[in-house]
Structure 1
Amino acid sequence: MSESTSYLNRTSRYVQIANDTRNTTLATRCGVADSFWTRWRGLMGQAQLASGEGLLIVPEWSIHTFFMRFAIDVAFLDHEQRVLKLYPALPPNRPYAGAWGAAAVLELPAGVIAATATETGDHLRLIPREP
């Protein structure tokens, strides 16, 4: 089991993230960080996010990348899962990034935003799945 997978196993639930606007999939196994501890921990200390993995932090409107070892793509979502703001390849150890009005933050491996052509205004769908 990889270090990134072992961390995702500590989250209580998972979703698949589909971009309905572009008919693409951003993550097939996205952990949901919805408790104080999982939201605070985020991806700090992780070695990587594997292809198809992600972390959805709810509720949240800003993040930081302190104590992270790799760049991530970040999408800020409103209450209807519309993309408000995108940060492709956000480098580690930045103070924070945020989006006014965001209800959730989606963290993905760097390159997913470009590979899926995801843009501001796109509608994402959260599909519940088993771990």
Structure 2
Amino acid sequence: MNQALVRATNQTRGTVLCARLENAGGRAGQNRGLLGREGLEPGTGMLFENGRFTPFMWMHMFFMRFAIDIVFLGRNNAVIKINRRLEPWRVSSVVFGARRALELPAGASDESSTQAGDLIVFDAVD
């Protein structure tokens, strides 16, 4: 995926998981992530991709100022695990097989009824 904004739709449930998802980019962007932000607007989020060829992903909330949902996706963009309302200064689950992670406003996964096993599709935002 490129740097353009994309929409993440839960194809299984027929709901929008995130209307405007920004790609975290390369290593520097992924290290910075959401740090320094005051929060996420509803419908926004950040996409992280596992480009390090590691068999797992995990995220940390060190120095964060707000809670988020983290949705971990496998090779086929199927939801493997969801960490709901992860608070600042916490560490996410270590998720084996995760290829992508979506950081979303706290409650976004519940609002879209997203569950493990659901298929997520990405479309370009105009």
- TM-score where L is the length of structure 1: 0.86
* In structure 1, distance between residues paired with 2:11 and 2:3: 25
Q: Tell me whether 1:66 sits opposite 2:100 in the alignment.
A: no
Is the CA contact 1:24–1:116 (under 8 Å) kept in the aligned structure 2?
Answer: yes
Match of 2:89 among 82, 93, 96: 93
* In structure 1, distance between residues paired with 2:94 and 2:25: 18
CA RMSD across the alignment: 1.5
User: Which segments of structure 1 move beyond 4 Å, counting only runs of 4 or more?
Assistant: none
1:80 positional shift: 0.8
Q: Tell me whether 1:106 sits opposite 2:106 in the alignment.
A: no
1:45 positional shift: 1.7
Is the CA contact 2:83–2:92 (under 8 Å) kept in the aligned structure 1?
Answer: no
Which string of whole-angstrom CA distances, capped at 9 and with x for unpartnered residues, describes residues 94-124 of structure 1?
A: 1343211100100100011111110000000
Which string of whole-angstrom CA distances, capped at 9 and with x for unpartnered residues, describes residues 65-106 of structure 1?
A: 111100001110011110000111011111343211100100
Number of equivalences: 120
- TM-score where L is the length of structure 2: 0.89
Q: Tell me whether 1:34 sits opposite 2:25 in the alignment.
A: yes
Q: Which runs of 5+ in 1 are unaligned?
A: 1-10
SS of 1:119's equivalent? coil
| Partner residue in 1 for 2:9 | 18
